Amino acid sequence: MADTQEPQEAASKKASKKPLLVGGILALVLAAGGFYGTYSGLIPLPGHSAKVEPPAENLPDLAFVPVDTVVMSLGAAGNNQHLKFGSQLEVSPIYTTEVANLMPRILDVINSYLRAVEVAELQNPSALLKIRAQLLRRIQVVTGEGRVRDLLVTEFVLN
């Protein structure tokens, strides 16, 4: 009879370690989750105010003056490459009519500059940035300082 009681006692000792192990693992998981929650800001700490994002600023008053699309042939007469260039001018609303009245001069500046640019230069991936900056500066000279804020290229097709 003594032999039958010893295996039951050994089994009960082994079973008593299992809940302790599960409890330890559960405590570690909860501690890690609590740390992550407070570290990432999901759980606010007492005495610390939550981050308040400032309200978005209102956009300044803008108006856009469309520029007629310019289509021109490029290169030699035997070369059938064309450039299609469309854009809009970002202006203050008070200058919209003044800039629109200067559109023939603006188109002349755009045509003159694009005619002078080489075809190989147009094929460069960074060419659009340079063209945009050059045209914006030339348009600002024609319209007067402070009237045109930006040149937005809406169409640039080289074929």
Whether 142 shows a pLDDT value over 80: the answer reads: yes
Give the model's confidence band at 50: pLDDT under 50 very low, under 70 low, under 90 confident, else very high: low
Give the model's confidence band at 125: pLDDT under 50 very low, under 70 low, under 90 confident, else very high: confident
**Distance of CA 130 to CAs 35, 135, 137, 143, 153, Å?**
51, 9, 11, 20, 12
Q: Lowest-confidence range among 49-53, 78-82, 86-90, 102-106?
A: 49-53
Residue 150: which of 87, 100, 103 has the closest Cα?
A: 87
Q: What is the CATH number of domain 63-158?
A: 3.30.479
Assess contact for 153 and 114: CB atoms under 8 A: no
Tell me 65's DSSP state.
Answer: E
Tell me 47's DSSP state.
Answer: T
Instruction: Return the domain boundaries, the chain.
Output: 1-52, 63-158
Q: Lowest-confidence range among 1-5, 21-25, 51-55, 155-159?
A: 1-5
At residue 79, the pLDDT reads 73
Give the model's confidence band at 103: pLDDT under 50 very low, under 70 low, under 90 confident, else very high: very high
